[in-house]
Structure 1
Amino acid sequence: MKKRILAIISATTMVVSMLTGCSESQKEDYASENKKVAITLGMHVANVEEQEPVTADIIKAFEAANPDIVVEVKGNDKDEHVKKMKMAAQADELPDIFWMDASVAPELNEAGLLLDLNGFLKEYSEIGDALADNMKEASQAEDGAQYGLPYQSLVTGIWYNKALFEKCGLELPVNGTTFEELENMVKVFNENGITPIAQGAKDTYSIWAFLIAIERYGYFDKIDTILAGNEKFNNTEFLKFFEKLQILGRDGAFPSNAATMTYFQAKEAFLAEKTAMFDSGMWDAGELDKTMGVNTGFWWGPTFSDSDSPQTVKMKVSSAPLCVSKAVGEDKIKQEAVYKFLAFYYGEEAAKISYEGSIIPSTNYQVEVDLSEKPAFAAIVEALNAETWISPKAQPDLVLKEAVQAQLYDSIYGTMLGNYTPEEALDKIDIVLDQQ
């Protein structure tokens, strides 16, 4: 017997699964005799109620609006979740809907394991209209298959402490603040005994603001050519960017113990007002509202005068996708239930729940929410309202395979910490890319 990867599901769910291939009349008989259809949802956190409360609230609201459907959630920490989803894929035991790392989802699609959601977008056209093009394109295959939809918006940048800027006599950063102005901030903060930017290199993925910065050197103008083998990461423009990382590291922009610090420790240092800025994103808005409140500001990071690429880059892109098992499409009752859930998840009511929980949804619904008690979250909303600032099609790392992604992280932190020269850091990415 195959080992189950997910939690044991209810008898009702097993009955629904066994209905695959049954006649329409049998399915109708089942629907009339059983009040609930169960759908399984695999999540990248161990405790959805505590770690993803907005998602938990959306699920509760969906079940209240659809009493004939129950959503059974099983979560694990991210790395364990991805590992289990890979094992479940091999055993043909994927949950109906599941969060998946953006670098892994395309592989599952290529293996023929995911349901093409173009059918869902056609049936629920209002959802397609509510999702910006970059949100849909992030999980589209070359053949046009829609193998996933964004779990949430991924909004990243630099949080800053207004009080520390004012204490040191510095102007607050704004859209368009330059790298040279950032250099001066670093100098002044160090002179006042304040670490400029909180970074935790032990969690190598925590480089969000610097992923925005590399797009200001034409990342998405080059990456397809690079991945096709016709250009290298070690190119003139990317070298300029890595030289900026080297300058920041050399000038003391980061904690002296950044190499042994985690992302969570970096956040604690920022919350304790030991650092002036913090590389993070939307997910920390709620905590910042509780701790720093009106002293919290948000910024898209510096612009660069030595680049000819557009500088008005913000970051509102698709986070890792929600995917649907292809097996769902073989069961009419299950597919209908899954479609209803997705329609609710990407609907206007869920968008309102998201904003109320300090989460930017992936949809573009205009909902009225009182943000007067949420100054940190309001700062992000204000930054997003800069209409002339444009988001790329994806966060730069999310279009790379896992190994290349990991080396990009290592190369950026390695340059910041002085372990690699800019040239060495870029060459390391090219070596890994050549091995793919």
Structure 2
Amino acid sequence: MLKNWKKVSLATVLLSGLVLGACGNGSDGEGGSGDVTITYSIWDKIQQPGMEAIAEAFEAENPGIDVKVEVTPWDQYWTKLEAGAKGDSMPDVFWMHSNEIAKYANGGVLMDLSETYANSELTSLDHFPEELVELYSADDALYGIPKDYDTIGLWYNKTLFDAAGVAYPDETWTWDTMLAAAQTLNDPDNGVYGILAPLNRQEGYHNFIFQNGGYVLSDDKTESGFRLDETIEAVQWYADLSVKHGVSPTQSQFAENTNLSFFQSGRGAMGFFGSWMTGEMANNDYTAANADVAPLPKGKQAATLFNGLANSVAASTENEEAALKFVEFLGTEEAMRLQGENGAAIPAYEGTEETFVKAYSQFNMQVYVDQMENAYIKPYSAETARWEDVENSALMPVFDGTTTVKDVAADIVAGVEEVLANEK
């Protein structure tokens, strides 16, 4: 949990590029009508229609408040948000990610939403997964309202499976079943691979770690799971899909074409994709016609990672009352249903998941919901991005086939645990 995020000094905040000064967006929207305009910043264009539907419903119930949905691509979003924290251009309400929450909460730029939700007559934190509420909380303050959740699925190309006479994956599949199918489906001479296994944590090898009985971080967030044989074995098995068995493209091939581009061009029979990728699959003519999704295969046990975004409010918004009203509405059953019905994401509000399932009835979306029974929260700490970089850098030569996980495990342990120790 993030309850023990350390407090940081103003000097530290300034060095990190965040300031405690004014960060309202400077646009109160006041004109002849006296209306207030608040900005709602997101990074996913596919989810934009869903967010705009929520904004329209809110505006209908709150005359005089307009919500402007702004989309900034992921690779620019955090740069823009941090720059906004230095000046007067931070959005009023915006998406927050588990990798970034500690930085922004400690930076003093997020509003505490505890009182808003404690006094709400529209919704309650009891409706959301406890792990996600905890993820966006620190020192008894609530800095983000859960927006959605996601799990990971095994997508497969029905056309390739049919041509090879291979049965579709289902809940009975194990690692060995998947490997055998990948070997049958593999046809690299014609540019088709049995499975797509890039160096990817959330959609890739971290799931296999938990399936093998290992972990990424200890519960108290002091030790790396790469101390464990179970973790080392799982990551090596995943890497071997490419470096030993040749049923996956190499990492150099993934540098030229993403796993999504491989899959959407019919060059990958199977791939691991999070539920947030469903819109991409539905909006692509090839995958819409040829693909479906199944549960992840089992190792020693069934397991998937789950994560979720949150909605946060700028601490010094110039439109505090309107922003708080909107972030409260974002956590209501009405808003969550609109999110799901528009195919944006799996709503975090308990009991509304079926809206997302029905929005993509051409795919077996129930898989993503059902896997929550075996879900582990995406590993995090106060400095998630830092230790993830350590892990990623050490594993690059493993996925290039020039070394093994066992040979780099000690380096990962040392690097990750140094980051964790410095958090305390």
SS of aligned partner of 1:158: strand
Find the partner of 2:316 among 295, 317, 327. Answer: 327
Q: Is the aligned partner of 1:300 residue 2:299? A: no
Residue 325 of structure 1 and its aligned partner are, at CA, apart by: 2.0
The aligned counterpart of 1:313 is 303
Distance 1:368 1:74, change over 3 A: closer
The aligned counterpart of 1:69 is 65
SS of aligned partner of 1:379: coil
Q: In percent, how many aligned pairs have the same letter?
A: 21
Alpha-carbon distance in structure 2 between the residues aligned to 1:42 and 1:5: 18
The aligned counterpart of 1:365 is 351
Instruction: Letter of the 1:429 partner, please give it.
Output: I
Residue 251 of structure 1 and its aligned partner are, at CA, apart by: 0.4
Residue 179 of structure 1 and its aligned partner are, at CA, apart by: 0.9
Alpha-carbon distance in structure 1 between the residues aligned to 2:395 and 2:297: 16
Alpha-carbon distance in structure 2 between the residues aligned to 1:11 and 1:342: 17
Distance 1:355 1:430, change over 3 A: same
Alpha-carbon distance in structure 2 between the residues aligned to 1:398 and 1:283: 22
1:349-388 superposed Cα distances (whole Å, 9 cap, x missing partner): 3223222222211212347759678344x4122442367x
The aligned counterpart of 2:233 is 240
Residue 184 of structure 1 and its aligned partner are, at CA, apart by: 0.8
8 Å contact kept, 1:197–1:278: yes
* TM-score for both structures, normalised by structure 2: 0.79
SS of aligned partner of 1:112: coil
1:141-186 superposed Cα distances (whole Å, 9 cap, x missing partner): 2x23222123432232221112322322222222241111122112
Query: Superposed, which structure 2 residues align to 1:409-420 within 5 Å?
Result: 409-411=392-394, 414-420=397-403
Worse-superposed segment, 90-99 or 174-183 = 90-99
Distance 1:406 1:111, change over 3 A: same
Cα RMSD, aligned residues only: 3.5
1:259-285 superposed Cα distances (whole Å, 9 cap, x missing partner): 243597432321222211122222332
Q: Is the aligned partner of 1:54 residue 2:50? A: yes
Distance 1:248 1:367, change over 3 A: closer
Distance 1:314 1:384, change over 3 A: farther
Find the partner of 2:209 among 210, 214, 221. Answer: 214
The aligned counterpart of 1:110 is 106
8 Å contact kept, 1:140–1:146: yes
SS of aligned partner of 1:197: coil
Instruction: Letter of the 2:246 partner, please give it.
Output: G
1:82-136 superposed Cα distances (whole Å, 9 cap, x missing partner): 1232233344753322223322221221233222222122122633132121221
The aligned counterpart of 1:351 is 336
8 Å contact kept, 1:38–1:69: yes
Distance 1:429 1:117, change over 3 A: farther
Q: Is the aligned partner of 1:429 residue 2:389? A: no
8 Å contact kept, 2:357–2:365: no
8 Å contact kept, 1:300–1:313: no
Find the partner of 2:193 among 192, 195, 198. Answer: 195
Alpha-carbon distance in structure 2 between the residues aligned to 1:118 and 1:133: 15
Unaligned runs of 5+ in 2: 1-18, 420-424
Worse-superposed segment, 281-290 or 158-167 = 281-290
Residue 326 of structure 1 and its aligned partner are, at CA, apart by: 2.1
Alpha-carbon distance in structure 1 between the residues aligned to 2:97 and 2:370: 28
Residue 300 of structure 1 and its aligned partner are, at CA, apart by: 3.2
Find the partner of 1:228 among 214, 222, 244. Answer: 222
